Amino acid sequence: MKILNPKSEILKYLKKWLEIILRPIYFYTKLKGEEWKNEPLSFLLMTSWILAFAAALVIFIIQYIPIGKTLVEGVSGVKFLFILPVLLTIIFVFFMITFLILGGVFVSLLFTVLYLSALVLHYIYQFFGGKGSLNQKIQMVFYSSAVFLFALAIFALVLLTKFTAFSFEYFRYGYNFIYFLMLLYVYGLWAVSGRKNYGLSKGKAFLGAIVPLLVLLIFGLLFDKIALSKLAPWIS
């Protein structure tokens, strides 16, 4: 039975992440075909859990710490030392519950979005005359999940808005800017993978990648109009 080394796995992930972000053409050119349920899925899962951890940490800082302060208000000295183990246990339990719930949300969301995007891209590129493997397309699209790690900057903006004079309107601008840049980058990765996997021209590869890009762009606009403003009382 193979025992995984967490430190080794994280370093392996970071090395691959940097290669995808900094040298995408080289990465997809040398990428060997493999079952998408192995390394590509593991990479997507790692990205999802990192995002979930960051989101749980933000919720902990914004919500749980203020609540915890009210519970221990007026308690000091020896009394505080007596309740400290219980307090730490409660903190750990609530953080883990939040982390696990968000982990499930991020895994489900990223997997669904990227798997459906791979299917759409596969059939579009086939329509354009490309000859490629669906398995390899899913593999390549799953690796493009590296781009979504830039969403960590959005979590940083949440903290900035909560604890500084940074207004919610500026947060909104920052969120939309980061989301747009992520879509632009992932669009480029999908187009590059289309050229490598289906042997299409650059024009057809980029044209085909527009369809799932537009869907994600519309989703982002709807989220901005409908849901984002509802977060204002929570983070302002």
pLDDT at 1: 38
Segments forming the whole domain that contains residue 207: 34-235
Residue by residue, DSSP assigns 155-216 as HHHHHHHHHSS--HHHHHHHHHHHHHHHHHHHHHHHHHHHHHHH---HHHHHHHTHHHHHHH
Whether residue 15 lies inside any domain: the answer is no
pLDDT at 63: 82
pLDDT at 5: 61
Whether residue 68 lies inside any domain: the answer is yes
Whether residue 186 lies inside any domain: the answer is yes
Whether residue 4 lies inside any domain: the answer is no
Whether residue 72 lies inside any domain: the answer is yes
Whether residue 26 lies inside any domain: the answer is no
How far apart are the C-alpha atoms of 220 and 202, rounded to whole Å? 26
Whether residue 158 lies inside any domain: the answer is yes
> Tens of pLDDT along 10-34?
888 999 999 999 998 888 888 887 8
pTM of the model: 0.88
Whether residue 29 lies inside any domain: the answer is no
pLDDT under 70 in the chain at which residues? 1-7, 71-72, 74-77, 80
Could you give the number of structural domains in the chain? 1
